[in-house]
Chains A and B, each alone.
Chain A
Amino acid sequence: MKRRDVLRSLGWGASALALPACASWRKGATAATVVVVGGGYAGATAAKYVRLFSDHTINVVLVEPNSQFVSSPRSNLVVTGELKLADITRSYDDLHRRHGIRIIHERCTGIDPDARTISVERSGPLRYDRLVLAPGIDAMSGTVDGLEQARHAGRIVSGWSAGADTVALRSQLAAMPDGGVFAITVPETPYRCPPAPYERASLVADYCQKYKPRSKVLVLDANQDVTAMGALFKRAWQQRYSGLLEYRNHYNVVSVDAATLTARFDVQADVRANVLNVMPPVRAGALAVAAGLANVDARWCAVDFLTFESSVARGVHVIGDSIHSAPMMPKSGHVANGQAKVAAAALVAAILERPPNPHPMLTNTCYSYVSADDVIHSAAVYAFDGAAHTFKPVKGAGGTSPTPSAAEADYARAWAGNVWADMLG
């Protein structure tokens, strides 16, 4: 009798136990709607995995202004002409066709967590049961005097997100004379994709060595040292681009002059370049900032790492580059893909009224090109630590390449094909 009472108190009658634990027999689940804002590595993955983890019982709406997905990972290969923009561009269509996700190609203009609605440019307000915000990053161009005007004038490119910036930087590099100076500035951490500026500098150096050998590549880093795979990058630069690529630390850019393409620094002497690629500090996407979710240094969104629910807005899960990251967890596309799955599982559990997975995990692999042919990687496995309530790298796992290799270029290519299919296919 007692055991049966326990079962009843849990809401599990004998007939329910006889059914498989699928969601379809629960009425509440069929009506639930999850709205995902942002269709990058984080958002697109979340949209697809909410459908998968709920056995397609939870409705998903994806709000993304761009008509196609353009990958920032591998976009540095477009800068040097190894790839075309089309090679890193994919359709969102399969999310609708194969997974029944409703896609609205409009900009989300605001969220109201109390009313559980978001506002969208042209369509009316959308109601949600759970909201996933994956707004990515926005450049803090205002922190560098003159940068906003220089970007609008098309004189200086930041290149934080693949697309128009990538094409513009490609054109500037192609137009640079032999003997020109390509200068790239790196902001203090944290920022999106720690190895990205160093990979870009490496690929540009490789391009210059082949086509414009009298040129110079300057890496002007606000940090005290290379922030990712430092030993591997610096050894590759010394062995491959000695005299061509120069790395300078403690270079914190404070202003730019668009007319002369000159960068000024807080301490160091001015640098004049033919192509000036200024990567200013970044913060959570404007939508998250405007909604008051960026509560860490007014830049990043604090979340509960078990569920990725915002610490300030109930029912709102924030994933990807806009969050205040767990220690030792980089802002990478691979990590965003993993966070999206943890958040999707947690919010599906919440809607189905079961407890969240107490042991979520995710992985990271960052492939970086040191030349058009040779690649290095950094890898890690993360597990949720209940006592610290955050993700920590699993001890003994992870690491980097011993040396650059062409074999890892094959892996980098395969990684992109598979992760794009995992998020969009």
Chain B
Amino acid sequence: MLRVAAAFCWVPLGTGLAAAERPADHEVRALAATCAACHGTDGHAVSGPAMLRLAGMPSAEFVRQMRAFRDGTRAATVMQQIAKGYTEEQTEQLGDFFAAQR
């Protein structure tokens, strides 16, 4: 009985430890909110083509574009300056977040 209980508890605790290494969903959501003034709430831009709609963009594409802004291979007016404010890990979290928005 004791062994069963211990085994039962091990799984969620293990999940908890893994979760501690990456931010919680609500923290990623707050990070994504830093994009929203220009790119719309949860990436749902409403205002013409100048500022891209991020909602539904494939994660790999988002990450590739952000890297291109950072290393200068994609020319931009503002994003080359903004993209440098985010780490590679944050960029990947943002990519996954926006890909999941519909």
Contact = CB atoms under 8 A, between A and B. Distances in A.
A337 B84 CA distance: 21
| Interface residues of chain A: helix, strand, loop or mixed (majority) | helix
Contacts of B34: 338, 341, 361-363, 381
Interface residues of B, number: 39
Contacts of A407: 77
Contacts of A422: 36-37, 40-41
Contacts of B10: 3
Contacts of A362: 34
Contacts, number: 135
B35 to A, nearest CB: 8
Interface stretch (A164-172, A279-287, A412-420): A412-420
Range class of the A interface residue count? 35 or more
Interface in A1-17: 1, 3-4, 6-7, 14, 17
Interface in A400-425: 401, 405, 407-408, 410-411, 413-419, 421-422, 425
B9 interface: yes
Contacts of A6: 13
Given A397-B85, A399-B81, A418-B51, A359 B27 contact: yes
A396 B29 CA distance: 24
Contact of A425 (B33, B41, B82): B41
A253 to B, nearest CB: 34
Nearest to A394: B85
A415 B84 contact: no
A334 interface: yes
Contacts of B23: 357, 359
Most buried by A among B24, B37, B84, B86: B37
A379 interface: yes
A416 B33 contact: no
B84 A418 contact: no
Nearest to A362: B34
A162 to B, nearest CB: 18
Nearest to B77: A408
Given A414-B51, A421-B47, 15 more contacts: A3-B9, A3-B13, A4-B9, A14-B12, A21-B24, A363-B37, A365-B78, A381-B85, A397-B82, A399-B81, A407-B77, A411-B51, A414-B47, A419-B38, A422-B37
